[in-house]
Amino acid sequence: MSNHEHQDSKHQPVQRKEMSRRQFLSYTLGGTTAFMVGGTVLPMVRFAVDPLLAKGGESTLVKVIEESKVTAEPQEVKFKVRQVDGWYKSETEKVAWISRDASGAIFALSPVCKHLGCTVFWNTHGRNEYDCPCHDARYSRDGKNITVANLPLDEYVVEIQDGFVYLGGIIANTRA
Amino acid sequence: MKFSEIEAEQWDELKPYVDTCLLPITGLDGTETPSEATNYLEQLRDVMDLVEIPYRGRIVTYPAYHYVYGNEGSQQAIARCCANLKSQGYKYIILITSKSDIMFQINEADLWIAPTEDGNLPSDVEISRKIRELWHS
Amino acid sequence: MFKKVYNWIDERLDITPLWRDVADHEVPEHVNPAHHFSAFVYCFGGLTFFITVIQILSGMFLTMYYVPDIIHAYASVDYLQHQIPFGKIVRGMHHFGASLVIVMMFLHTLRVFFTGSYKAPREMNWVVGMLIFFIMLGLGFTGYLLPWDNKAYYATKVGVEIAASVPYIGEYIASFLYGGDIVGAQTLTRFFAIHVFFLPGALIAMLAAHFIMIRRQGISGPL
C-alpha cells in the first residue's frame, strides 16, 4: 500500500501556477460567447425597457392657476392638454370653471352643457348660477342641474401641489 | 353641429332645439391660387370655431357658399337661400365670413359675423355678445 | 457560486447527461478549420442557425412596438426606429439579418450539394432543408409587407400577382393571401399572423427535425 502511494506521488505532474491550456480555452470561448450574446441581446433589452428609462413622463395633470387666486366666485381658466402616447400625439384646449366651496376645498367644473353640448357661463343672468346660452339650462354653483339638463356638469380631477392647482381628466360630478 | 354630424333619424328629436343656422360665405371669386384658397378657408374655419364650439347645441352649420361675384347677383342668391332656410323652420340665420369686402345687406339674415373694416377678425367675446343679443331679442 | 447552484440542481435532476448529449461530441478532422482551413465551408449551417436565433429574438422585441394595422403600421415602425433608443439597431438586425440568413442558407446548401452530403442515408435531411429554405422565403415575403410603405405594398402586389398566375388554383391562392381583392387591411393582419406565428412555428419544428437527423446520422465523411 505504502509502495503504491509512493508511486502515485512520483508520477504527479509538476505543479505550475500558470493557467492551464484547458482553462485558457474555456475563458476565451466563454468570453467570445459572452461578447456575442451581449452584443445582440443588450440593444434589444435596452430597446424593450425604454419606457422605464424615459424621463418621468409628463403627468397628465396640467398646472392652471395659483391656489391663492381661487375664490368662492367661479373663475374661467383655459388650459392645454398635450398627450403623447407613442406615435399618437394630441393637443386639446380645455376650459374649466374653478372655485372654492363653503369648506374651502377647490373644485373645477367642465362648462359643457349636459343638454346639447353648448358652453355654459357663470352668472350671465345675475342669479349666481351657470347659464347655458342655448336653451337656458341652469346649474347651481356645484354644477347641479336645475332646469332643462338631466345631468349635473362634469368635474375635473383637481390636485394641489406647491401652491398651484393642477387639473386632470374629466369625471362625473361628485358634488351634486 | 355640422350638417354632416346629424343623422337622419336624430333630426326630428333635435329640431325643436336647433333653431339657428350658420351659413358660411367664403367669398372666393376664382382668382385665388390653391394656397390662397387654403388660407381663406383656414381663416374662415378659425372664426367659425368661435361660434360652432360654444353654441354647438343650438346652431347647425350648413355647407358654405364659396363663390361670390360682385354684389348684385350673389346678394339675390344668398337672400334666396336664407329665405328657403327660414321657410324650412330655422328662426335665425347667421352669415359668417372672414373677408371684409363681401358684407352686403341681406334682409333675410339676422346677423353678419365679419371682420371689422380694418380687417381684424372679431373677438370671441364680441361674437358671444352678438349671438346672445340675437337670441334674447 | 454558479458551480454550487449547478451541482445542487444536478444532484437532484441529473442534468449533466442532457447537455453532454447535445454539446459534447467530437468535431471530425475534415470539418475542423483548425486542421484544414478550407473546412470553414462547414460553418455556414451553424451561422444560418445563429442568425435565425437573432431574427427570432429581434422579431420578438420588435412586436413590442409594432401594430399590424394599415393606419398605424408605418407610424409605429417610424416611431420604434427613430424615437426608441437602439431602435435602429434592433430593426437593423432584423432587416439585414433577413438578407443575411438567405445568403448563409444558400452557401450552406451549396456546401451540402458540392460535398454530396445529401446522398443516402441523408436524403430526408436534404428534403427537410429544402422545406426550411421555402419557409425562410415565406418569412421574407410576408415580413416585407409589414412596414407598410410603398416598397412593401408593391412588392406584395407583384408577389401575389405572380402567385395568381398559377394555373387553375392561382385565383384562390391570391384571394387567400390578400384576404380579399386588394392589398389592404386584411392582407396586413394576415401577413403578420403568418410571419409571426405560422411560419416561425413551422420553422422551429423543421429545424428540430434537421438537427435530430444530423445527430442520428452524423456529419458526412470527407471527400
Beta carbons of A116 and B54 less than 8 Å apart: no
Grid cell listed for C140:
421574407
Question: Cis omega before residue A111 (within 30°)?
Answer: no
Quote the minimal CA–CA distance from A57 to chain B in Å.
31
Residues C137 and C132: their CA atoms lie apart, in Å, by 9
Q: What is the DSSP letter of B120?
A: P
Average pLDDT over residues B116-132: 82
Residues A57 and A87: their CA atoms lie apart, in Å, by 15
Q: Look at chain A and report how many structural domains it folds into.
A: 2
Q: What is the DSSP letter of A156?
A: E
Query: A74 with A154, same domain?
Result: yes
SS3 B104: coil
The single residue listed with the C-alpha cell 398559377 is: C166
Average pLDDT over residues B96-108: 79
Quote the minimal CA–CA distance from A11 to chain C in Å.
29
Q: State the CATH number of the domain containing residue A138.
A: 2.102.10.10
Residues C113 and C210: their CA atoms lie apart, in Å, by 16
Put simply, whether A116 touches B (Cβ < 8 Å) is yes
Element (H, E) at B82: helix B72-88
Query: A108 with A149, same domain?
Result: yes
Put simply, whether B131 touches A (Cβ < 8 Å) is yes
Q: Of A39-53, A100-114, B19-33, B106-120, give the lowest mean pLDDT range.
A: B106-120
Where are the extended beta strands (E) located within chain A? 62-66, 75-85, 88-100, 106-109, 121-122, 130-131, 138-139, 145-147, 155-161, 164-171
Pairing of strands B20-28, A75-85: unpaired
Element (H, E) at B28: strand B20-28
SS3 B134: helix
Average pLDDT over residues B16-35: 90
Query: A121 with A155, same domain?
Result: yes
Query: A141 with A72, same domain?
Result: yes
**Which stretches of chain A score pLDDT less than 70?**
1-16, 55-59
DSSP percent split of chain C into helix, strand, coil, nearest 5: 75, 0, 25
Whether A165 is in a domain gets the answer yes
Put simply, whether A50 touches C (Cβ < 8 Å) is yes
Residues B116 and B136: their CA atoms lie apart, in Å, by 24
Residue A33: domain span: 2-51
Whether A56 is in a domain gets the answer no
Query: A40 with A69, same domain?
Result: no
Query: A88 with A135, same domain?
Result: yes
pLDDT at A10: 56
Beta carbons of A86 and C79 less than 8 Å apart: yes
pLDDT at C80: 93
Q: What is the set of domains in chain B, with CATH numbers?
A: 3-136 (3.40.50)
Closest alpha carbon to C201 in C25, C56, C21: C56
Residues B21 and B67: their CA atoms lie apart, in Å, by 19
Q: What is the CB-side half-sphere exposure of residue C221 using CA atoms within 13 A?
A: 3
State the DSSP string of C109-144. Answer: HHHHHHTTTTSTT-HHHHHHHHHHHHHHHHHHHHHH
Quote the minimal CA–CA distance from A49 to chain C in Å.
10
CB-based burial label for C144 (10 Å; 0-12, 13-18, 19+): middle
Query: A46 with A66, same domain?
Result: no
Contact B23, B111 (CB under 8 A): no
Torsion angle, alpha carbons of B34, B35, B40, B43, to 10 = 150
Could you count the other beta carbons within 10 Å of the beta carbon of residue B62?
Answer: 15
Interface test with A, best of C54, C71, C90, C93 (most A CBs within 10 A): C90
Residues B91 and B89: their CA atoms lie apart, in Å, by 6
Grid cell listed for C154:
408593391
SS3 C96: helix
Residues A114 and A148: their CA atoms lie apart, in Å, by 9
Query: A29 with A70, same domain?
Result: no
Query: A89 with A158, same domain?
Result: yes
Q: How far apart are the first and last CA of chain B?
A: 23
Whether A122 is in a domain gets the answer yes
Nearest CA in chain C to A54: C84
Query: A31 with A82, same domain?
Result: no
Put simply, whether A44 touches C (Cβ < 8 Å) is yes
Residues A101 and A107: their CA atoms lie apart, in Å, by 7
Neighbours of chain B (3+ CB pairs under 8 A): A
Beta carbons of A40 and C78 less than 8 Å apart: no
Q: What is the DSSP letter of B2?
A: B
Put simply, whether B43 touches A (Cβ < 8 Å) is no
User: Which residues of chain A does B57 touch, with a Cβ-Cβ cutoff of 8 Å?
Assistant: 113, 115-118, 132, 134-135
Name every residue whose Cβ is closer than 8 Å to that of residue B48 and which is 6 or more positions away in sequence.
B22, B24, B61, B96
Q: Which fold has domain C42-217?
A: Cytochrome Bc1 Complex; Chain C (1.20.810)
Neighbours of chain C (3+ CB pairs under 8 A): A
Grid cell listed for B23:
351659413
Output b/e per residue, B3-20; b: 16+ Cβ within 10 A. eeeeeeeeeeeeeeebbb
Grid cell listed for C139:
418569412
User: Which residues of chain C does A44 touch, with a Cβ-Cβ cutoff of 8 Å?
Assistant: 57-58, 61, 86, 90, 93
pLDDT digits (tens, 9 = 90+) for B48-73: 988 988 898 899 999 998 888 877 77
What is the Rg, in whole angstroms, of the alpha carbon atoms belonging to chain C? Answer: 21
Beta carbons of C65 and A86 less than 8 Å apart: yes
Query: A167 with A99, same domain?
Result: yes
Residues C66 and C94: their CA atoms lie apart, in Å, by 13
Interface test with C, best of A21, A28, A40, A88 (most C CBs within 10 A): A40
pLDDT at B72: 75
Residue-by-residue pLDDT tens, chain C, 223 positions: 888 999 999 999 999 998 888 888 888 889 988 898 999 999 999 999 999 999 999 999 999 999 999 999 999 999 999 999 999 999 999 999 999 999 999 999 999 999 999 998 999 999 999 999 999 999 999 999 999 999 999 999 999 999 999 999 999 999 999 998 899 999 999 999 999 999 999 999 999 999 999 988 988 888 8
Whether A57 is in a domain gets the answer no
Quote the minimal CA–CA distance from C63 to chain A in Å.
10
Element (H, E) at B20: strand B20-28
Strand partners, A139: A130, A145
Query: A106 with A28, same domain?
Result: no
